[in-house]
Amino acid sequence: MIKSLLLSFIISTITGKYIIDILKKRRIKQIQRQEGPETHLSKAGTPTMGGIFVIITFIIVGLLALITGLGDISNKAYFMYILFASFMCGMVGFLDDFLKVEKKNTDGLSPKKKLGTVAIIAFIFAIISIFVFKKDTIINIPFLKNINLNKILYIPFSILVLLATTNTLNLTDGIDGLASTVGTIIMTFLLVIALKVENIEVAMMLVIAIGGFLGFLLYNWNKAKVFMGDTGSFFLGGVIGIAAMALNIPVYLFFVAIIPVVEAVSVILQVVYFKKTKKRLFLMAPIHHHFEKKGWSEVKVVFVFSAITIIGAIISYIGYIV
């Protein structure tokens, strides 16, 4: 797995350089919202859809892992299946980014179409998990006993989890290095659990994704040379959601993924509060922009939010082992 991690990081780093050049030549660039933070207006023109080279890395290293190991045919089939499900989440984001570039504005897929497509992916994922791979429907609750959802409840629950992870990571992606750093910490926690329960297929998927996003982070750290776009954020959310469901620990995301959760809640509260009072609860939502408006630098936001995520991961691990 160490070899896969290093290989994924190297391929992502090398591929990234060429993909960024291609994105620049094709003028696939970020279009900033005029109502966004003033400091972000200078980012207009930065290449976006950088998640493409993470996905390319994911496919290459994933296929190599499939060919060289992972046990018998059933292990290989399951590994290929979770890779493909994560890939499809990334493709939803890719289509959204592509339409934004074509229209030359911030409108891509409508929210209904994005939610609907991810819901279909999650539905198929749950059905295949239960009826083809005979996965149990047990859900591990931190600090408490496990609960066993029946098959009827497990399917809508799976849809809810994948919708939540893809959309909350998408909202978290708004500052240089934020989503990729927070997402990598979350995936590292999931990797620790996967290794603990000896789920090698999920562990390998996470190792490859972590290496890919670490390579991406070299280009995404402030000041970013490329943004992941919805391609990257939906793919990242897909990997996290699918891994959490496969490990029976989606509830732990309330702790370890506290930042994406708070980002989403801040948007909901902002909308509800504004509709009722015609005033803003936060200076701007998602909440990372609120702190920017308060004078925090992007680097400070990333460090503080990452530290909170690490604390959430520690609490989650304690909740798992007790």
Q: Where does residue 259 rank: exposed (0-12), middle (13-18), buried (19+ CB within 10 A)? A: buried
pTM higher than 0.85: yes
CA atoms within 13 A on the CB side of 121: 30
DSSP E strands, the chain = 138-139, 147-148
Share of the chain above pLDDT 70, in %: 94
- Bridge partners for 162 per DSSP: none
Model pLDDT, residue 144: 84
Run of H or E including 88: helix 73-103
Model pLDDT, residue 227: 93
Q: pLDDT tens for residues 252-301? A: 999 999 999 999 999 999 999 999 999 999 999 999 999 999 999 999 99
Contacts of 72 (CB under 8 A, 6+ apart): none
Longest dimension (CA), the chain: 60
Contact 23, 47 (CB under 8 A): yes
Q: Residue ranges of the chain with pLDDT lower than 50?
A: none
Model pLDDT, residue 27: 78
Alpha carbon distances (Å) from 113 to 166, 182, 216: 14, 26, 28
Alpha carbon 217 to chain centroid, angstroms: 14
Model pLDDT, residue 102: 76
Model pLDDT, residue 41: 61
